[in-house]
Amino acid sequence: MTFEADLLKGKYFTKGSRERLKAVMLALIVYLPVLAMVYDYYESVIYGFETMQYIELSVLILVFLVYALFPRFIGLTLTTNLILTLFAIFLLLCLVIEDKNAEFSLFWFSMFPVISFFFLGKKQGIIWTGVISFALFALLALSLVGVVESLYESALLFQILGAYLAFSFIVYMIEKERANYEAELNASFERNKLLFKDVHHRTKNNMQVMMGLLETQSFRIKDPKYKKMFRAHVDRIKAMSMVHENLYRGASFEEVDMHTYLTEIIESLQKITQHTILADIDYMTLGVNESINLGLIVNEAVNNAIEHAYSAGEGKINVSLRYLGKRCVLSIKDEGVGLNPQKEYQSLGMTLISDLAASLPGGKLEIHVDHGTHIDVYFDAKERE
């Protein structure tokens, strides 16, 4: 259990998002005033302020009931409005009902503009400013005509109302500038997002042109050895182009959905072989460089298994990518004859696999040739959220 994620309910929102920040701040706004209210309730009991005891106990119960329903049953906006309503009623009652620390409640009026504008935005912040101002003005008017007996002089209530309006205007101006700045950032982000998507789309198209040129050239080559070489290069370019296709289609232009990406590579390879390729890919996202490296490793390792693992008949090739604690492991396994240590280990494909594995963060390559070939690539990955 962590303080922010569990106690302050941050785990229900995306890490780093504005909603998570609001949820954490809302929790603090609930806990801190409630602690002060609990202490005030204790003093109300000690000094015999019975009316205030009932009010404070009722508000405490209702606040915790509302917060207990957040965020599974009620959203952030509704929770904020309900808690502000309860605190507003309590603070207004503190102006007319005798209490040991009644003056201390005046401090919390300054929190209303900050909370309402920060959590609810300009429009609802203005509404809350109007509601609290009207309530203070109504209390002032009622106290002047003797309908209610205020604990404070009318001049002080008038000063409280003026100070509340002035502070609300300052907070409004700050929130207005912040909202405008955030809108500009969002617009800039969307423009950059479209630009990056266009770059990935053009890169993918250029790679497809290269693949087409290589395939056209391979038709003119009669020697099977060189034809195979062209085919291998086409597969490598295709593996890289799929990353850019994934980034173009996806919601992020910085991270690749590995489940989708590796599955597409495996499906492409399955079309050129009679062997059965089985995939078990965990759902994770990785950066562009790591994704391309893993895609090329899968392409090289599976092609090697297709060509060398089974001398006759059909076989199985298993490909998996799994979390392993704080690391990940990519495994390609067949049940064929196994690699020849003097030959295949020195091939271009195995050299490429070794170099790509070493370039991964914390990358480590392990190859076993007992009952087939088993290639494991271990690397560090960001923790799951």
Domain termination site, one of 158, 188, 218:
188
For residue 255, pLDDT beyond 60: yes
49 exposed, middle or buried (CB, 10 Å; 0-12, 13-18, 19+)? buried
The C-alpha atoms of residue 52 and residue 100 are separated, in whole angstroms, by: 9
Contacts of 347 (CB under 8 A, 6+ apart): 304
Quick one: 161 and 286 in the same domain?
no
Q: What are phi and psi of 22, to 5 degrees?
A: -65, -40
pLDDT score at 365: 92
Q: What angle separates helix 111-144 from helix 18-47, to the nearest 10 degrees?
A: 40
For residue 245, pLDDT beyond 90: no
- 215 assigned to some structural domain: no
For residue 15, pLDDT beyond 90: no
pLDDT score at 261: 84
The C-alpha atoms of residue 67 and residue 80 are separated, in whole angstroms, by: 9
317: domain CATH number? 3.30.565.10
pLDDT score at 12: 85
pLDDT class for 226, splitting at 50, 70, 90? low
Quick one: 74 and 182 in the same domain?
yes
Quick one: 125 and 10 in the same domain?
yes
More confident: 198 or 179: 179
Per-residue tokens: 353: 């696999």
For residue 201, pLDDT beyond 80: no
Q: What average pLDDT score do residues 89-99 get?
A: 87
Domain termination site, one of 167, 188, 209:
188
pLDDT score at 250: 63
Quick one: 173 and 95 in the same domain?
yes
- 327 assigned to some structural domain: yes
What domain range is 138 assigned to? 3-188
pLDDT score at 39: 87
Quick one: 165 and 17 in the same domain?
yes
pLDDT score at 351: 84
For residue 333, pLDDT beyond 70: yes
Question: What's the pTM value of the predicted model, to 2 decimals?
Answer: 0.57
- 78 assigned to some structural domain: yes
pLDDT class for 77, splitting at 50, 70, 90? very high
